[in-house]
Each structure stands twice: as structure tokens, then as C-alpha cells.
């Protein structure tokens, strides 16, 4: 059971009460890399980094020590559609976490000396990603399938854009986009809800909301292609994918189940069994389903020996075709639904994962399904649903393929 409250300025609060003395808290903000254009590409990620570099009340060391000094952990991340600042602490230290979040989000000063140092850090982060072939092919794949749309560019931005960020521009962007109505305070732990609301009112309630532009008015268009890039890797890397349901689609649950059957985390996923276990062609093969607010992306990734490339691609397409042409048996469907429900329950047992899950859900839907409701939705998925969605999404001509090979 979740408890909700909305402050007068639009900041939403959600609590999942658990008996644990450890509390997981964070602020989810509806701002990500897809909201950027031109010279601002990468600015959400850069702001996420530099929120830690100084406020009107603290220097960088004091920000880090505020949570680290009492044995907690403070971190943040950026996606294409959200930014999150979060902490893990003992319950008695929740007030300092919330106060620090508000200080970082509403009083960051982005000191020029710190900004220049952090540019070097992010440039090295870009280099790190470029040195990892699996990361590089993923970025290039999304750049190509969404070519011409802001969702296509790298979350980190480019070296050119990062070098041009200024303290003034970061402050302006923070004021423009990081507004209270775009924020959700998400907390998991042994916390009294009335006390949580009081703390949020104290630390967040005085900041006025204001209208901000919504740049997500143009829906991304998925582009199909087949391309090979010659790279001297030890492995041949394969990535292929298609458009998938959005986060608001009624087909989302059925497609999530399809993804889980094909290449989810279980060692018994169809792709893992067909390509790794039966043939030994790879160490890693997996599929991912990433739903966005107005579209979704499904992709399969594998790293194989060059001699196994063609056979691996054939095996992948065989499994896609099997799901689109052969209805699941009742036994297979029951096992798949039970497996997925159990995976969700296990994930939710991790307080940090639950804090992030409910924060994102509340940000997107203004409510959060309980584990029981999500399980019920899974159990409603029929073999006919799986077959219909697979037929719609896995038709020939709807896939794009990118290969890194010699």
C-alpha cells in the first residue's frame, strides 16, 4: 500500500512503508536528455553531475559529507526522460537527505572552477563509453533508429557540447526546467507519513512552481535499416530491434512478458537457450524493452565469434517468428507469467529498486500499482494477447540491424 500527497506547489510525495531501519529516498524529475536541442545536448546529465559541486549554503565537500559522513550513500542518474537524485540512509537521517535534495535542486550555484573540472570528468566518461564496444553499438543504434529526433542523441552529449556549457547556462536551465510540478519525492522505509509530509513541506514547500516548456510534442519515428560497421573487435557485435509499445500502451504488459520470454534475465530465456546453451555461440545474448512516454524500443544484443554471426542472426529471427506464429501452450504461459511475477516481487524487495520504480511510476501516471495489482495484470495476459502483439511488432521489414564486425 502506498501513501500519496501533493504539496500546494505541485511536488508529489509517495511513501512505501517498510519495517526496515534503512530508508531509500530520492527526487525524480521529469527532465531528461530527450528534452535537449543543439548546444544543450548532454546538459541534463551535466547538471546531474554538477548538482554536487556547490550550493548557496555548501561547497562540494560538504554536500558529499552530508550523507557520507553518517554512513549513507548519495548518488544520481540521468535517462532520456528523467533525472533522479537519491540517497540511502538510516531512518533518523532522512531529514538531512530531504534538506540536501532541496538545497541541490533549488540552490545550486555551479561554481566555474568546479564546472571546468567536471567537464574533464564527463569527457573521460565519454571516453570510457567509447572504449566499451557494447555501449558504443547501443548508442549508435539509437542514434540511427531515431535519427533527427532529440531522443536519438547520447545522454552524455558530445565532447563539443560539454566543453561549451557555462555556469550561467546551467543555472538558467535549472530554473527553467527543474520545477516543482515536475518532481516526485519517493521514499521507502520505516517512516511516518505525516512526518514525511511535514519534512517535505518544510524543505520543498516554499518554492513556487512556474510554467515550463514541454518539448515532447513531436513523437519519434522509428527508422529501419541494415548496416555493418567494420571494427576490429574480438567479437562480432549484433544489435537488432523494432518499435515497441509506449509506457501508456495497453499492450505494455503483454510486450513485457514477450521480452521476458525471449531474452529476459532468466537463463532459460529462449534466446539464451537457442544461441548460448544449445550452440555455444556467445557468452551474452539478451533482449531489452525500453518504454518511453510516446514510443518504445525493443532490441536484442549479442556478442559472438565472427564465424557464428549468420547462424546467430538466423536463430534470433527463428525465435521471433516462433512467438509471432505459434501460440503459447497453457503450461508455457503459466510458467512465463509466474516467472515474471516472481522477478518483480524479488526486485521490489530491494528498497532502492522500489524507490526508483515507484518514483518513476508516480511521475508518469500520478499513481502507482501495487505488487498485487501488477501481478493481476500479468495473470490477465492470454496466449492470444501474446500472439497478437508479437504478430504486430515482429513483422518482416519492421526491424533494424546494426553489426560491428571485421
Give pLDDT tens digits for 103-125.
Answer: 999 999 999 999 999 999 999 99
* pLDDT tier for residue 193 given thresholds of 50, 70 and 90: very high
Q: Which residues of 347-385 are buried (b: 16+ CB within 10 A; e: fewer)?
A: ebeebbebbbbbbbbbbbeeebeeeeebbebbeebeeeb
Q: Which letter does DSSP use for residue 108 in this model?
A: B
Residue 223 confidence class, pLDDT cut points 50, 70, 90: very high
Helix (H, G, I), strand (E, B) or coil at 122: helix
Band (pLDDT 50/70/90 cuts) for residue 56 is very high
Please determine, for residue 231, whether its predicted confidence score (pLDDT) is greater than 90.
no
Q: H-helix or E-strand containing 15?
A: strand 12-17
Q: For position 369, what pLDDT does the model report? A: 95
Instruction: Return the pLDDT at 259.
Output: 98
Same fold, 2-204 and 226-405: yes
pLDDT at 232: 81
Report the pLDDT averaged over residues 336-344: 95
In this structure, the chain runs to a length of: 406
d(CA 135, CA 133): 5
For 348-398, write each residue's pLDDT tens digit.
899 999 999 999 999 999 999 999 999 999 999 999 999 999 999 999 899
What's the pTM value of the predicted model, to 2 decimals? Answer: 0.94
pLDDT at 205 over 90: yes
CA–CA separation, 390 and 324 (whole Å): 5
pLDDT band with cut points at 50, 70 and 90 for residue 78 = very high
Tell me, what's the pLDDT at 234? 84
User: What average pLDDT is seen over the chain?
Assistant: 96
CA atoms within 13 A on the CB side of 161: 21
Each domain of the chain, given as residue ranges in start order, spans 2-204, 226-405
| Distances in whole angstroms, Cα of residue 395 to Cα of each of 249, 285, 323 | 19, 21, 11
CATH of 2-204, one of 3.20.20.70, 3.40.50.460, 3.30.830.10, 3.40.190.170: 3.30.830.10
pLDDT band at 1 (very low <50, low <70, confident <90, very high): confident
| Mean pLDDT across 299-304 | 96
User: For domain 226-405, is the CATH number 3.30.830.10?
Assistant: yes
pLDDT value of position 214: 76
Residues 6+ apart with CB under 8 A from 157: 33, 36, 41, 42, 43, 45, 46, 122, 126
Cα–Cα dist 191/3, whole Å: 11
pLDDT at 233 (0 to 100): 79
Q: How far is CA 282 from CA 48, 138, 323, 400, in A?
A: 36, 18, 22, 21
Amino acid at each position: 500500500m502506498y501513501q500519496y500527497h501533493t504539496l500546494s506547489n505541485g511536488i508529489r510525495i509517495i511513501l512505501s512503508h517498510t519495517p526496515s531501519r534503512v530508508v531509500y529516498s530520492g527526487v525524480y524529475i521529469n527532465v531528461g536528455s530527450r528534452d535537449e536541442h543543439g548546444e544543450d545536448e548532454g546538459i541534463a546529465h551535466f547538471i546531474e553531475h554538477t548538482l554536487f559541486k556547490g550550493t548557496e549554503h555548501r561547497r562540494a565537500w560538504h554536500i558529499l559529507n552530508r550523507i557520507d559522513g553518517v554512513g549513507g550513500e548519495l548518488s544520481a542518474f540521468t535517462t532520456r526522460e528523467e533525472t533522479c537524485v537519491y540517497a540511502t540512509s538510516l531512518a533518523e537521517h532522512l531529514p538531512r537527505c530531504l534538506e540536501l535534495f532541496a538545497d541541490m535542486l533549488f540552490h545550486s550555484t555551479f561554481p566555474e572552477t568546479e564546472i571546468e573540472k567536471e567537464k574533464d570528468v564527463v569527457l573521460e566518461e565519454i571516453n570510457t563509453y567509447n572504449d566499451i564496444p557494447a555501449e558504443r553499438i547501443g548508442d549508435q543504434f539509437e542514434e540511427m533508429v531515431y535519427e533527427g529526433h532529440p531522443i536519438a542523441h547520447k545522454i552524455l552529449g558530445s565532447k563539443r557540447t560539454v566543453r561549451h556549457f557555462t555556469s550561467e547556462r546551467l543555472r538558467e536551465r535549472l530554473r527553467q526546467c527543474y520545477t516543482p510540478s515536475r518532481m516526485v519525492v519517493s521514499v521507502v522505509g520505516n517512516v511516518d507519513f505525516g512526518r514525511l509530509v511535514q519534512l517535505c513541506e518544510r524543505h520543498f514547500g516554499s518554492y513556487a512552481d512556474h510554467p515550463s516548456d514541454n518539448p515532447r510534442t513531436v513523437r519519434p519515428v522509428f527508422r529501419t535499416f541494415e548496416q555493418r560497421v567494420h571494427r576490429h573487435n574480438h567479437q562480432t557485435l549484433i544489435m537488432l530491434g523494432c518499435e515497441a509499445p509506449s509506457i501508456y500502451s495497453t499492450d505494455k504488459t503483454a510486450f513485457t512478458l514477450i521480452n521476458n520470454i525471449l531474452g529476459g534475465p532468466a537463463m532459460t530465456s529462449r534466446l539464451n537457450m537457442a544461441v548460448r546453451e544449445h550452440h555455444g555461440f556467445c557468452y551474452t545474448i539478451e533482449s531489452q524493452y525500453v518504454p518511453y512516454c510516446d514510443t518504445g524500443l525493443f532490441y536484442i544484443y549479442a556478442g559472438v565469434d565472427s564465424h557464428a554471426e549468420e547462424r546467430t542472426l538466423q536463430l534470433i529471427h527463428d525465435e521471433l517468428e516462433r512467438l509471432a506464429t505459434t501460440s503459447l501452450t497453457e503450461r508455457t504461459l503459466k510458467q512465463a507469467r509466474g516467472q515474471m511475477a516472481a522477478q518483480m516481487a524479488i526486485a521490489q524487495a530491494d528498497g532502492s529498486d522500489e524507490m526508483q520504480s515507484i518514483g518513476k511510476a508516480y511521475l508518469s501516471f500520478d499513481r502507482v500499482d501495487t505488487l498485487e495489482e501488477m501481478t493481476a495484470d500479468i495473470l490477465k495476459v492470454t496466449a492470444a494477447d501474446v500472439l497478437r502483439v508479437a504478430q504486430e511488432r515482429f513483422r518482416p521489414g519492421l526491424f533494424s540491424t546494426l553489426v560491428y564486425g571485421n
